[in-house]
A and B are shown apart, each in its own frame.
Chain A
Amino acid sequence: MKNVYLDNNATTQVAPEVIDAIIPFFKELWGNPSSMHYFGGQVKKYIDTAREQVADLINAEPSEIVFTSCGTEGDNMAIRGTAEALGKNRKIITTRVEHPAVLGPCRHLKEQGHEVIELGVDSSGQLDLTEFRKVLGKGPNIVSIMWANNETGVMFPIPEIAAMVKEQGGVLHTDAVQIVGKIPIDVRKTPVDMLALSGHKLHAPKGIGALYIRKGTKVNTFLIGGHQENGRRGGTENVPYIVGLGQACVLAKKFLQDETTNVAKLRDRLEAGILASCPSTTVNGDRVHRLPNTTNISFQYIEGEAILYHLSDIGVAASSGSACTSGSLEPSHVIRAMGVPFTSAHGSTRFSLSRYNTAEEIEYVIEKIPAIVKRLRDLSPFV
């Protein structure tokens, strides 16, 4: 059976080059980088190199990179660490379509007495910047807004948002987990204060990430312990994975061009092919300001889990925002925030590509999908 992986926003295949880079750090170079002997000490320079590689991908200073255990940790550290550093009763502004890694900490802080504002989005999944400006207010308020949405791929105008936050004296964190490696990011040009990224979305392993913290930003330490990461995060470093993340960032930079050309072309072909061959299908979210690898398509009158199981039967891996797959009884919070009608919401299906997908795979999916959709529609009492 064919195996077509179109769920790269959930996680990605670890690049073979990354695996090759990691192995020696299990086999030979397994010393502790803090040790006062050559065996351990020699490992430290590889961490330094990896830090440079990660910094290079987003044009940061290496000293502004803190390695974390995942994207979730980066988001938590940024939001909770800043709130703690800035003291009680801060205003925290975020959006309703954030990943739980951001919504969770924000709602936690709300319970602790901070004022938390969750901005809504329009039907294309975009923010109303006038409204944002209105609620932002002057002073050291905390803003956490994602750069690209994991479900729809919709990108928020972080450069404009960053400029507004700077102007008002606020602090801006952005969850860039989905965008890093797909679109060029330059933190010198875009004045975000913090930015979280996660290895497993860019062909490094799961369980490694990084938080960019602009020099001078006040963030309290989250994991209090040893002096690792310059005292900003205690705990002996996950050397193999840090090296792997560095290698993945080198590859990401090398293939960045590919994302906006080849990957985008395949995505567009897939989207056009499905829309042409399946009636009553719509694309969810802004199609202009969108990640090049993502399309979120609603198949009206049928349900997402059923679609995924049929796709899985023919070897195609995708994802859905339907109730049955969102782990609750309601469609995903992103789809609901966009006000997608129920006729479409339960049948929303996300296809997310990577540079490893081929044109042949995409044609296979385009060829197979109409029969699946027809089968389920033949079953549906609403058709």
Chain B
Amino acid sequence: MWDYTDKVLDHFRNPRNVGLIENPDGIGEVGSMACGDALKLTFKLDEKKRIVDVKFKTFGCASAIASSSALTEMIKGMTIEQAEKVTNQDIANYLGGLPEQKMHCSVMGREALEMAIANYRTGKTGKKILAGKVVCTCFGVTEEEIERVVRDNNLTTVEQVTNYCKAGGGCGNCKNDIVQIIERIRKERESKSASTQKPAKLTVLQKVKLIEETLDREIRPMLKRDGGDIELIDISGSRVIVSFRGMCAGCQAAPSTIKDVVEAKLREFVSKDLVVEEDKS
């Protein structure tokens, strides 16, 4: 038997939000009978564009059912912007982890959610259509999808890629292609980390740019999840003045967020001597 967590077994035995919403605002369908698992996800938004209702139907193993059920619980109440930031790792984490060979179940959840959001935004079909170069013909996995799981989950081996999106798990003829994709992304990552190495002395302009980039990448997604935002007001020497927006403005936790999160991240990615202050004017 698989080493499933109690949470996985609970969601498998008592799946939440089963069914299909009539006239949904978004619908996403991924997988197929041939592939061995499939998920159909529907959601409805309220007037504030929050997901008020979400339902699913899943064909698949215990962890496929549990991942789908977990996903519906996670995104209920989220805005579309928040929901689209949910990663497959978030789904796995919510369940207390999944066996490595079952990570593709969490990826299926993330894909269905993306499909449903795209369907909501564009009105285009929520069904997965194979776009771009198909690498794994057995399971119909495209280059883009493989790149995505490799990037999202920092994968380094073909076996991992198979665990996360099934590519390479059939005849195995595409294993070399997968190796090359992994290799390419590894090189990209290396050159990126080389380029994010801070230059010895930053000009003010460079500093502003780097701070903005760091806020964007490291801080904003987290704040936005709670309906807030942050803005860079000014910098003066090593002092960085920021201001909270939305739900974060006037939040009790703001001072500690400034020190523990914003300052820590800016020190990590921009410069060790930075001091962050909140603009109180």
| A29 interfacial contact with B, CB 8 Å | no
- Across the A-B interface, how many residue pairs have beta carbons closer than 8 Å? 69
Say whether B61 contacts A382, CB under 8 Å.
no
Q: In the complex, what distance in Å separates the CA atom of A69 from the CA atom of B139? A: 39
Q: Which size class do B's interface residues fall under?
A: 20 to 34
Known: A302-B59, A330-B170. A379 touches B38 (CB 8 A): no
Sort A-B residue pairs by CB-CB distance and give the 10 closest, nearest first.
A329-B169, A305-B61, A324-B61, A381-B57, A381-B40, A323-B36, A342-B34, A380-B59, A342-B33, A309-B62
Residue of chain A at shortest CB distance from B32: A342
Contacts of A380 in B (CB 8 A): 57-59
Partner of A324, one of B36, B57, B58: B36
Whole-angstrom distance from the CB of A232 to the nearest CB of chain B? 37
Partner of B36, one of A303, A309, A382: A303
Partner of A379, one of B18, B138, B169, B170: B18
Q: In the complex, what distance in Å separates the CA atom of A313 from the CA atom of B14? A: 13
Contacts of A382 in B (CB 8 A): 33, 38, 59
Say whether A329 contacts B57, CB under 8 Å.
no
Partner of A322, one of B9, B34, B36, B138: B36
Whole-angstrom distance from the CB of A59 to the nearest CB of chain B? 40
**What are 7 residue pairs bridging A and B, where the CB atoms are less than 8 Å apart in the complex?**
A302-B59, A303-B59, A309-B12, A324-B36, A343-B33, A380-B58, A381-B39
Say whether A379 contacts B15, CB under 8 Å.
yes
Contact residues of A with B, CB < 8 Å?
301-306, 309-310, 312-313, 322-324, 328-331, 342-343, 346, 378-382
Residue of chain A at shortest CB distance from B39: A381
| B65 interfacial contact with A, CB 8 Å | yes
| B29 interfacial contact with A, CB 8 Å | yes
Say whether B58 contacts A381, CB under 8 Å.
yes
| B60 interfacial contact with A, CB 8 Å | yes
Say whether B61 contacts A328, CB under 8 Å.
no
Say whether A329 contacts B65, CB under 8 Å.
no
Contacts of A331 in B (CB 8 A): 36
Residue of chain B at shortest CB distance from A343: B33
Say whether A301 contacts B61, CB under 8 Å.
no
Contacts of B7 in A (CB 8 A): none
Say whether B170 contacts A381, CB under 8 Å.
no
Whole-angstrom distance from the CB of A45 to the nearest CB of chain B? 43
Contacts of B15 in A (CB 8 A): 379
Interface 0/1 of B92-119, CB less than 8 Å to A? 0000000000000000000000000000
Extra contacts besides A306-B61, A381-B38 (18): CB < 8 Å: A301-B33, A301-B59, A303-B60, A303-B64, A306-B62, A306-B65, A313-B13, A322-B36, A324-B61, A328-B169, A329-B36, A331-B36, A378-B18, A379-B15, A379-B58, A380-B57, A380-B59, A381-B58
